[in-house]
Amino acid sequence: MRLNIFPKLFLAMLLATIMVVLVMVVFMNWSFRTGFTAYHHAEELDKVQELAEVLGTEFANHNSWDFLRDDPQQWEKLLGDLGESAPLPPQHPAGLTGQPPPFPPPGALPPDRAHLPPPDRAKLPPPDQDKPPPLAVRLSLRDIDQQQVVGDFRHVGVSPGDRSGRRDVTKVEVRTSGKLVGWLMVWQGGVVTNGLARSFLDQQVRNLYLIALFATGLSFLLAILLVRHLLRPVHSLTQGAQTLTAGKFETRIEVTTQDELGRLAQAFNTLAEALQHNEIMRQQWIADISHELRTPIAVLRSEIEALLDGIRQPTLERIQSLHMDVLGMGKLVEDLYQLALSDSAELSLVAEPVDLTAVLTDTALSAQARLQEKHISLTTRFDPQQPLWIRGDAERLRQLFSNLLGNSYRYTDEGGQVEILAQQQGNKVMVSIQDSAPGVPDAALPRLFERLFRVDKSRSRALGGSGLGLSICKNGVEAHGGTIQAAHSPLGGLLIEVVFPAESA
């Protein structure tokens, strides 16, 4: 079964939170129990240390341990002074007597039910299996020869010779006037004997589990809210993309955050604006192309029909006029083809170091004869011996500057002038071509590089302009990594400034 992103994110966040809570609960439970047990053991050891000091004083008074061996009640009295009074198991000078201890090991039946028959035992409440023995039973006094004086670990399930049990046995020295006279041994083994302490410990553990349960429920709620918050922009993007696919490019998404999702929504709106702009340009482009082709085709059709109907005679002048109309249409189609190539990045460029001074010199010589037909003077303001190196395609650069000079030829009045300026400024190479009157209106300057835009359409058609020359020039400059812009010329006409990145020879 395929899951959507909502259950995937929800389950991932919920499981991660639950795992963190479980690990936290286990660790905190272990840490709390360990710390609390260590605190309790330290508290017990303080009592044992106090008992060891008392035993050292008593040993000095009696000069032996016989006072405890002969009278075990003295041991009970010493424990009672510490608040640890408890009934003592039967003792024997040589060790254990074999009599049943009053503190049976965990799990054994207590004396109050051991004599009962099995049916009566079942009626009694179960024994407290977890109740640990008191401190008095877990103490053992040994003399300097490691012989037991009083106390026995067997009553808590630890044999004196059990090494595994001795890992939890703490030995406290008993000294008299600085002399070691015995050891007071206590078996702790991780038990907590104080009833109030055990109640506090159990309560804290229960509270910890309740907190873990509450944290799990809260994480469940937060996971739902957070996943919905994260997926709301995704749903908006999905709906917006479907709307764009249907051709509704005016679609926009509300940007409500400044995070990655907000930037994604902003990028979507930028894409929608670009698509809308391109769609408007496409419609305008189709309308302009249709208009540009309709006029010459209508002229050709009317002229040919007049010749076919015998209204006009097929004279040489009329045939030459038709030929000029065909050439104009051919020029428009060729310009459209070149523009399409530059738009699709299929206009091949051979990128290599090019001396722009040499390219401008050759282009100026080629255009000079044509400019002289209209008595237009051409002036170059650069040193032919000073190379200006850029990286590009020499042939494409010649076409670029030929088109710019051709534009000056068509739209500069007879007897005017054209100037070419080239220079290097830092890491840029700047080329400007300016001409004399007529000028361009201020409102038309930003639109000169738009396709099929003409300042004076009737005059442009009469001069053979298709309205695509400057658009082709713009694509050619940008293909070389440069920029192009138009401004008013000090000579009274138009100034075209081209900037290329400079390249060391």
Looking at the structure, tell me whether residues 284 and 144 fall in a common domain: no
pLDDT score recorded for residue 137: 78
Listed residues 304, 319, 343: the one ending a domain: 343
Q: Which residues contact 399 (CB under 8 A, 6 or more apart)?
A: 476
Query: How does DSSP assign 19-50, residue by residue?
Result: HHHHHHHHHHHHHHHHHHHHHHHHHHHHHHHH
With H, G, I as helix, E, B as strand and everything else as coil, classify residue 113. helix
| pLDDT per residue as tens digits for the range 146-166 | 888 887 755 555 544 444 444
492 CB-contact burial (10 Å; exposed 0-12 / middle 13-18 / buried 19+): middle
Listed residues 197, 217, 247: the one ending a domain: 197
Looking at the structure, tell me whether residues 334 and 425 fall in a common domain: no
Looking at the structure, tell me whether residues 189 and 114 fall in a common domain: yes
In a domain, 235, yes or no: no
Percent of the chain at pLDDT exceeding 90: 10
User: For 97-115, what is the mean pLDDT?
Assistant: 45
Looking at the structure, tell me whether residues 113 and 63 fall in a common domain: yes
Contact assessment for residue 500 and residue 446, using Cβ atoms and an 8 Å cutoff? no
Looking at the structure, tell me whether residues 376 and 277 fall in a common domain: no
94 pLDDT above the threshold of 50: no
418 pLDDT above the threshold of 90: yes
Q: How far apart are CA 196 and CA 229, in angstroms?
A: 49
pLDDT score recorded for residue 432: 93
- Domain of residue 493 covers 352-501
CA angle, 134 then 138 then 142, to 5°: 150
| pLDDT per residue as tens digits for the range 156-197 | 555 444 444 445 788 889 898 889 989 888 887 655 555 666
pLDDT score recorded for residue 389: 92
Listed residues 178, 197, 216: the one ending a domain: 197
Contact assessment for residue 342 and residue 479, using Cβ atoms and an 8 Å cutoff? yes
User: For 363-370, what is the mean pLDDT?
Assistant: 87
Looking at the structure, tell me whether residues 339 and 356 fall in a common domain: no
5 pLDDT above the threshold of 50: yes
User: For 383-406, what is the mean pLDDT?
Assistant: 88
* DSSP structural state of residue 349: -
In a domain, 238, yes or no: no
| pLDDT per residue as tens digits for the range 304-355 | 888 888 888 888 887 887 887 787 778 777 767 766 666 655 556 677 899 9
- pTM greater than 0.75 (yes/no): no
Total number of domains in the chain? 3
Looking at the structure, tell me whether residues 336 and 364 fall in a common domain: no
The candidate with the shortest Cα–Cα distance to 407, out of 330, 340, 484, 480, is: 484
Q: What is the CATH number of the domain that holds 278?
A: 1.10.287.130
Looking at the structure, tell me whether residues 74 and 187 fall in a common domain: yes
Q: Which residues contact 394 (CB under 8 A, 6 or more apart)?
A: 350, 352, 354, 359
pLDDT score recorded for residue 421: 94
Looking at the structure, tell me whether residues 283 and 310 fall in a common domain: yes
Percent of the chain at pLDDT exceeding 70: 76
In a domain, 99, yes or no: yes
